Amino acid sequence: MAVPGLVPDAIYFDHLANRRFPAANFIRRANELDYSQKPDIFHDVFGHVPILSTVSFDAFLFELCLSTLSRLILAPPEQTPPGERLAAFGQFRSDASEFAANRLEYDDHR
């Protein structure tokens, strides 16, 4: 999905949850070959797309996006005190770790 640059979190995670990867629709200039302030199409496609084609990572990312979207809907960042956002992130990391552990356990029993 071509996007003009960085998109808000809710839109980004909605695209990912629907298995659409938002990639920049521009490429860095010649004077930015070593470093670009914004991620460009080269960064997005060569840096992220290969792992997105991995089935187990795709399943993990899908769950991650659903979890993130539910948190954004229930408690938008602008309405959540910073300390609570950090606590929610800790819970999210715990949920993600549990999901990954269960996935690895499932893979071992195939």
Tens of pLDDT along 61-79? 888 888 888 777 766 666 6
pLDDT bin (cut points 50, 70, 90) of residue 35 is: confident
| CATH C-level class of 2-108 | mainly alpha
Residues 15 and 21: beta-carbon distance below 8 Å: yes
Q: Give alpha helix (H) positions in 1-110.
A: 9-17, 41-52, 55-74, 82-108
Helix (H) or strand (E) holding 35: none
Rounded CA-CA distance 20/86 in Å is 27
- pTM equals 0.59
Tell me the average pLDDT of the chain.
75
